[in-house]
Amino acid sequence: MKLRTLIIRSSLVLSTAFSSMSIAEEEIIKVGVLHSLTGTMAISETTLKDTVLMMVDEQNKKGGLLGKKLEAVVVDPASNWPLFAEKARELLVKEKVDVIFGGWTSVSRKSVLPVIEELNGMLFYPVQYEGEESSKNVFYTGASPNQQAIPAVDYLMNDIGAKRWILLGTDYVYPRTTNKILESYLKQNGVKPEDIMVSYTPFGHSDWQNIVSQVKKFGSTGKKTAVVSTINGDANIPFYKELGNQGISAQDIPVVAFSVGEEELSGFDTSPLVGHLAAWNYFQSIYTPENEAFIAKWKTYIGDDKRVTNDPMEATYIGFNMWAKAVAAAGTTDVDKVSDALIGVTVPNLTGGVAVMNPNHHLSKPVFIGEIQDDGQVEVVWETPGTVRGDAWSDYLESSKNIMSDWSAPMSCGNYDVVAGKCSGAK
């Protein structure tokens, strides 16, 4: 009898313990953070990890979500593209996160995509990309080409008077697809093929002497020449240094960059970059009360008055706030219900006005062209009069000009052919 009583009491204790663990797990909403903290992309992505941690901390101070505490689960895919897929699976299967914020390069996103779709996860991707994709499991809070690349070319063409074009990029999907779109757009605007030069280099490329010499030669014909740069990561540092070494100034051949922001500029001597351009949807130097508050909050959180803010940080900020708002509206973290609740959600952006999540899982937001200053900040020289709705599919490619994306009911399709009148992609 004593043995039987002891077994019953032990079973009750274990049952209570497991029940308490279950309740404890249910009281937590897990937020996955999938950013490279080492390798060539750490220069850009580490800051985004810190931004998500700041947002989680801030949300917990507000009482969490649905009466539950948020917990960030951080992994390091180490600038290793296949590892992104492994770490995404780890977050969803082992850690059972409710949402993932992560990625920078398109090759990292492409690596994660099949895992996210297979396991019905939710990814917020905060960096400019090439478009030509729409997934029901991904919310694209960075710029698509019509929100960055096309306006930048328009500015160079109309305001700077560029006639010859050099498209320099890191050798992966984002630069290649973006430049394919830009080549088509330039030709449709009367630019001859011989006035377009395209060159790609690997991640982490450091010896720019030969390529910059080619740039100098291509720009010496008497026609105004401009460089459109989709160079990513730490390869930007030696690229701009070599421009300075060979005496190429912004007045001679202006460079507009899509992957150089305040964070990258803070890491090296900016004298070779002064006068060159960057195209984004946010700059730290834009004054609004919302932006001033965000900058102050960031510097306090990170404990460093010299740290800066940048566009992908704002995209992370917008995405996180939209997700939190949708979770509250849906009353659950269920991916399908939160996805439905996200469409049409608006939150204040940091540059004035509001960002809108459209049915194609892309944002509406403003576009800015900025000129790099000697203090590493960027002065706005051009902006759109209002917000621009992000396009999942480019109007300038024959293969996608008739394709649209709409994840709201009843269409619920990311690849709808308006000519054929049918969904030819995933539903």
136-175 residue pLDDT tens = 999 999 999 999 999 999 999 999 999 999 999 999 999 9
Q: What does the pLDDT look like over 14-33, one tens digit per residue?
A: 444 444 444 344 689 999 99
Q: What does the pLDDT look like over 296-309, one tens digit per residue?
A: 999 999 999 989 99
Task: Report the alpha-carbon distance of residue 343 to residue 330 in Å, rounded.
Answer: 12
Q: What does the pLDDT look like over 96-123, one tens digit per residue?
A: 999 999 999 999 999 999 999 999 999 9
Q: Closest Cα partner for 142 from 106, 171, 185? A: 106
Strand order in the sheet with 403-406: 403-406, 413-417, 422-423
Q: What is the pLDDT of residue 427?
A: 52
Q: What is the mean pLDDT of residues 211-231?
A: 96
Structural fold of domain 27-143+293-363: Rossmann fold (3.40.50)
Q: What is the mean pLDDT of residues 400-419?
A: 94
> Who wins on pLDDT, 21 or 351?
351
DSSP conformation letters of 212-247: HHHHHHHTTSSS-EEEEEE--GGGHHHHHHHHHHTT
Task: Read off the pLDDT band of 426 (50, 70, 90).
Answer: low
pLDDT at 236 over 70: yes
Instruction: Give, in words, the CATH class of 146-286+368-389.
Output: alpha beta
Task: Report the alpha-carbon distance of residue 251 to residue 224 in Å, rounded.
Answer: 10
SS3 406: strand
- DSSP run (H or E) holding 95: none
**pTM score, two decimals?**
0.88
Looking at the chain, the whole-number percentage of residues with pLDDT higher than 70 is 93
pLDDT at 11 over 80: no
Q: What is the pLDDT of residue 322?
A: 98
Q: What is the pLDDT of residue 273?
A: 83
Q: What is the pLDDT of residue 376?
A: 79
Domain ranges of the chain: 27-143+293-363, 146-286+368-389
Equal CATH topology for 27-143+293-363 and 146-286+368-389: yes
